């Protein structure tokens, strides 16, 4: 058998080289893979003892964790070589063919109390090993209501979480009760309820079912196989779901119908180039990488572990092989990286929400003040120590003009004597003051006319309380001292 395996390996190598466009480096890698490490690879791949065209069998493990091929007529078991044990009669064949073809699209296997069970995919018919055959032990129908759900054994009962059936994705757990020979719902009192899904990655330990991702979507649409990125567990003692977070972007998930192989608290995710170990206890993942190391792995079949040897089926150019890989040698042959299983916590705390709310309020307030400031200066005659402004256009003014317009910005009018004091502290003749006063008002009016196109911004008239006194008035509501935006922001 080893010679046949070696011959098959050499033929596989030749076909692989002939059918591939390898670089020199890849040829060297293949050489080392198949020649330098014969113990791990060359004698760890055996052709399956069934015809390559036959698809109607189940790949399972025995109570001693040895690989099995279950057919309608008997069982092949691999220890150091393949052995075949036919069934005593064809009763199993008759019964199974009435339900569906015996393959992994329709059935899966589980060990319960060291007894091998064959269960319809999606719940329904259940068979149990009995001496040298399988007998049906249920009274249910082939409803396939939980196709692709997470299958696990708890308290010696087969359970299924989630799955797809009757045009919907399920979010509940059922179990097969051998006492009543029916499937029943596991009721819970959980406030948090994750959305329904199928094909989730899962593991069971410490009375908790851990669920990672899975797939879902609206049936019949292009998004039917949309991925989930959450992680949660179902506490089987307290009967509640607990959300743990979201999956790290470093984890490249591959979803299948099968439970992943398990060793201690670890489960193993395998594709052509990677072997990823997921530990829900520590919430970490370790990815081991070597290009094309698991080339040809057929993910239409489950994988198993026995004594740190990983068993899987590969398909090379239509030829099926049983492969086993020693997990103890993984650190020496693979590049690896360990990282947290969960993405960084991006949840916003209450304090952050409050701070964000305050910032939004302040930003909104400042924006309102900007518009208010624009409205405030629009149409106003503004001034500072050296200029007057109108619609952001400036004209220089003298100190006397600045003092005069400053007074008019705060008062309804200014008297002639008050303007005289602005002009000079000296005592001039009345006619001279009249001339200087006229020049000051005229000069300021000319500058205001240039800005506002109004010839008489400041007008001369009589004091309504004393007609003997000349006064000068302007619309004080449109004359304001120029201020900066920050001053306006905190003063208004």
Tens digit of each residue's pLDDT (9 = 90 or more) over 60-84: 999 899 999 999 999 999 988 899 9
According to DSSP, the residues that pair with 323 across neighbouring strands are 45, 312
Domain ranges of the chain: 1-43, 47-340, 379-491
pLDDT of 10 above 60: no
Determine what percent of the chain is predicted with pLDDT higher than 70.
Answer: 82
pLDDT of 32 above 60: no
pTM of the model: 0.64
321 and 45 Cβ atoms separated by less than 8 Å: yes
Strand 173-177 and strand 335-340: pairing? unpaired
Q: What is the dihedral of CA 195, 287, 34, 31, to 10 degrees?
A: 120
pLDDT of 91 above 60: yes
**CATH 1.10.10 corresponds to the domain 379-491:** yes
At 217, the pLDDT band (50, 70, 90 cuts) reads low
Lowest-confidence pick of 148-152, 310-314, 475-479: 475-479
Per-residue pLDDT, 92? 94
pLDDT of 107 above 60: yes
What DSSP string describes 33-76?
IIII-IIIIITSEEE-SS-TT----EEEE-TT--EEEE-SSEEE
488 and 375 Cβ atoms separated by less than 8 Å: no
Give the residue with greater pLDDT, 50 vs 15. 50
Give the residue with greater pLDDT, 276 vs 347. 276
HSE-CB for 81 with a 13 A CA cutoff: 6
What DSSP string describes 106-125?
TEEEEEETTEEEEEETTS--
Give 456-469 pLDDT, tens digit per residue: 788 888 888 888 88
What DSSP string describes 273-336?
SEEEEEETTTTEEEEEE-TTTTTTB-TTS--EEETTEEEEEEEETTEEEEEEEEGGGHHHHSEE
Lowest-confidence pick of 127-131, 159-163, 288-292: 288-292
pLDDT of 3 above 60: no
At 358, the pLDDT band (50, 70, 90 cuts) reads confident
According to DSSP, the residues that pair with 79 across neighbouring strands are none
Determine what percent of the chain is predicted with pLDDT higher than 90.
Answer: 35
Per-residue pLDDT, 13? 47
CATH number of 47-340: 2.120.10.80
242 and 231 Cβ atoms separated by less than 8 Å: no
Per-residue pLDDT, 86? 94
Per-residue pLDDT, 231? 93
> Residue 121 burial (CB < 10 Å; 0-12/13-18/19+)?
buried
150 and 142 Cβ atoms separated by less than 8 Å: no
């Amino acid at each position: 058998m080893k010679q046949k395996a070696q011959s098959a390996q050499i033929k596989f190598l030749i076909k692989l080289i002939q059918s591939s466009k390898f670089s020199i480096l890849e040829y060297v890698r293949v050489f080392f893979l198949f020649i330098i490490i014969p113990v791990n690879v060359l004698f760890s791949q055996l052709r399956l003892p069934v015809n390559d065209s036959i698809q109607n069998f189940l790949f399972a493990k025995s109570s001693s964790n040895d690989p099995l091929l279950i057919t309608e007529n008997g069982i092949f078991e691999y220890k150091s070589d393949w052995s075949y044990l036919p069934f005593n009669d064809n009763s199993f064949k008759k019964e199974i063919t009435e339900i569906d073809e015996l393959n992994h699209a329709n059935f899966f296997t589980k060990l319960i109390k060291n007894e091998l069970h064959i269960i319809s995919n999606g719940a329904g018919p259940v068979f149990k090993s009995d001496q040298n055959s399988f007998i049906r032990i249920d009274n249910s129908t082939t409803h396939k209501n939980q196709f692709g759900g997470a299958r696990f054994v708890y308290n010696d009962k087969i359970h299924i979480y989630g799955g797809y059936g009757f045009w919907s994705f399920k979010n509940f757990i059922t179990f097969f009760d051998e006492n009543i020979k029916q499937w029943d719902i596991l009721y819970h009192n959980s406030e948090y309820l994750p959305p329904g899904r199928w094909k989730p990655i899962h593991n069971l330990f410490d009375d908790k079912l851990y669920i990672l991702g899975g797939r879902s979507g609206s049936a019949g649409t292009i998004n039917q196989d949309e991925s989930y990125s959450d992680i949660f567990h179902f506490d089987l003692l307290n009967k509640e779901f607990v959300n743990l977070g979201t999956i790290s972007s470093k984890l490249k998930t591959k979803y299948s119908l099968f439970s992943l192989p398990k060793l201690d608290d670890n489960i193993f995710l395998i594709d052509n180039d990677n072997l990823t170990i997921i530990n829900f206890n520590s919430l970490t993942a370790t990815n081991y990488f070597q290009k094309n190391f698991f080339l040809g792995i057929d993910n239409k079949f489950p994988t198993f572990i026995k004594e740190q040897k990983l068993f899987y089926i590969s398909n090379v150019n239509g030829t099926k092989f049983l492969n086993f890989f020693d997990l103890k040698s993984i650190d020496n042959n693979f590049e690896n990286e360990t990282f947290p299983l969960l993405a960084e916590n991006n949840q916003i705390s209450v304090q952050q929400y409050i701070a964000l709310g305050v910032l939004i309020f302040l930003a909104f307030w400042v924006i309102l003040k900007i518009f208010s400031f624009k409205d405030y200066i629009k149409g106003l005659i503004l001034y500072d120590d050296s200029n007057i402004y109108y619609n952001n256009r400036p004209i220089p003014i003298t100190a006397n003009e600045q003092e005069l317009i400053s007074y008019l910005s705060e008062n309804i009018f200014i008297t002639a004597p008050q303007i005289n004091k602005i002009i000079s502290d000296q005592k001039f003749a009345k006619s001279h003051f009249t001339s200087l006063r006229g020049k000051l008002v005229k000069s300021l009016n000319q500058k205001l006319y240039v800005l506002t196109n109004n010839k008489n911004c400041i007008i001369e008239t009589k004091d309504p309380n004393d007609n003997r006194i000349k006064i000068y008035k302007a619309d004080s509501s449109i004359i304001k001292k120029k201020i900066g935006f920050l001053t306006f922001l905190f003063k208004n």
